[in-house]
Amino acid sequence: MAAAGWPLSSSVADLLPASLSLTLLLASLVVVVVLGAAAFFFEHIRKIGCTHSLERTEVSALFFEDPNSLNKVPCPSIYDPAEKYISLIIPAYNEEHRLPEALTETLNYLKQRSAVEKSFTYEVLIVDDGSTDHTSKVAFEFVRKHKIDNVRVLLLGRNHGKGEAVRKGMLHSRGELLLMLDADGATKVTDLEKLEAQVRALAKKAESSLAPSNSPSQRLSDAEIAVFGSRAHLEKQALATRKWYRNFLMKGFHLVVLLTAGPGIRDTQCGFKMFTRAAARKLFTNIRLKRWCFDVELVYLCKHLRIPMAEVSVNWTEIPGSKVRMTSILHMVFELLLIKVGYGLSIWKIYS
């Protein structure tokens, strides 16, 4: 019996080292892959930080083109005193079809309001984020019609992402109030009055709590306030009309946003946001992300810079032609991880 059993035990003994070697090999491969991915990830975060440091100190070479005079108009800086009451920043990438209607509606409203309120001065800044269609041609037609003092086009040359287009627009605007809005006109421009009222309410509250009653009033542009347009009140309707897997992905994304930026703003991704000049100066000289999740980073920065925030419900209509795909969710989650690690480990510094 013992002799008969020997070959079996011998074969088991021979197999053990081979299986153990295979396990060690697989474990080593996993460790190498994980360490390689971690090294790539942290190097990516470091490069973003280095790029941001260079962007903070560089002198901008950007300018506005005046199609009427053919002159180049130097870009103003967010550090300059305000010259307009409000600036509307519209990031645009391949928006030749949706932009004309949205711009027409926006400019009609602004002209009508400025005719009634003499102190209501405005500019619309369209930031062409490297479009490959005729977006810039469409935008320049509005400059010709409304003059460069009221409508300006900033050409970025190549596609950077919505976050970078908004950042560039904010840094080169002239308003006391700065409003970002999408090129598709999904949110009615008249809703800026809701955000404007909230900004004024928060500014008045801050002034009354900090300043003595006999001190001069603070200029609106000097208050640090951010107000976010929100579609959260439309969530039930959206859940009822979307596919189950889209709802699942969106719920998962909102959970990751909550873990990254914390509570306070239910709808971080609505493209209708208003900032005072002082708030925009702090936020958009700190922001790092250039594409999808810069909105979440803004919330994160507001909390750490102690900039008062508010969320205001706005009218919103889904416009065909959205550039957000299901694969974009993965990119968004990656960017949220960048925020958490970049700021959490103090790789990215917040300048006040």
Number of H helices, E strands in the chain: 10, 9
Pairing of strands 175-180, 309-313: unpaired
260 close to 336: Cβ distance less than 8 angstroms:
yes
Kindly state the tokens that stand for 335: 């960017």
Instruction: Name the residue with higher pLDDT: 220 or 5.
Output: 220
Residue 143: its pLDDT value, please? 97
Cα dist. 128→72, 157, 317 in Å? 17, 8, 23
Q: Out of 27-41, 190-204, 208-222, 295-309, which region has the weakest mean confidence (pLDDT)?
A: 208-222
The dihedrals phi and psi of 286, each to the nearest 5 degrees, come to -105, -25
Q: What is the distance in angstroms between the CA of the first residue and the CA of the last residue of the chain? A: 83
Residue 41: its pLDDT value, please? 78
CB neighbour list of residue 349: distance below 8 Å, 6 or more residues apart:
49
- Tens digit of each residue's pLDDT (9 = 90 or more) over 71-129: 899 999 999 999 999 999 999 999 999 999 999 999 999 999 999 999 999 999 999 99
pLDDT > 70: percent of the chain:
85
Which helix (H) or strand (E) is 65 found in, with range? strand 63-65
Residue 21: its pLDDT value, please? 75
Q: How many residues does the chain have?
A: 352
- Tens digit of each residue's pLDDT (9 = 90 or more) over 221-256: 999 999 999 988 876 665 445 565 566 666 777 788
The dihedrals phi and psi of 29, each to the nearest 5 degrees, come to -60, -40
CB neighbour list of residue 228: distance below 8 Å, 6 or more residues apart:
265, 267, 268, 270, 272, 273, 299, 309, 310, 311, 312
List the domains of the chain with CATH numbers.
58-209+218-345 (3.90.550.10)
Kindly state the tokens that stand for 289: 């992300």
CB neighbour list of residue 27: distance below 8 Å, 6 or more residues apart:
none
338 close to 48: Cβ distance less than 8 angstroms:
yes
Which own/partner pairs from 339-343 qualify as long-range (CB within 8 Å, at least 24 positions apart)? Answer: 339/260, 339/261, 339/289, 339/293, 339/296, 339/297, 339/300, 340/259, 340/260, 341/41, 341/42, 341/45, 342/45, 342/48, 342/49, 342/288, 343/300, 343/304
160 close to 130: Cβ distance less than 8 angstroms:
yes
Residue with token string 């930080």: 49
3-state per-residue secondary structure call for 293-318: CHHHHHHHHHHHCCCCEEEEECCECC
The whole-angstrom separation of Cα 168 and Cα 163 is: 9
Which helix (H) or strand (E) is 13 found in, with range? helix 2-57
- Tens digit of each residue's pLDDT (9 = 90 or more) over 160-193: 999 999 999 999 999 999 999 999 999 999 999 9
The pTM (predicted TM-score) of the whole model is: 0.84
- Looking at the DSSP bridge assignments, the partners of residue 91 are 127
154 close to 64: Cβ distance less than 8 angstroms:
yes
Residue 198: its pLDDT value, please? 97
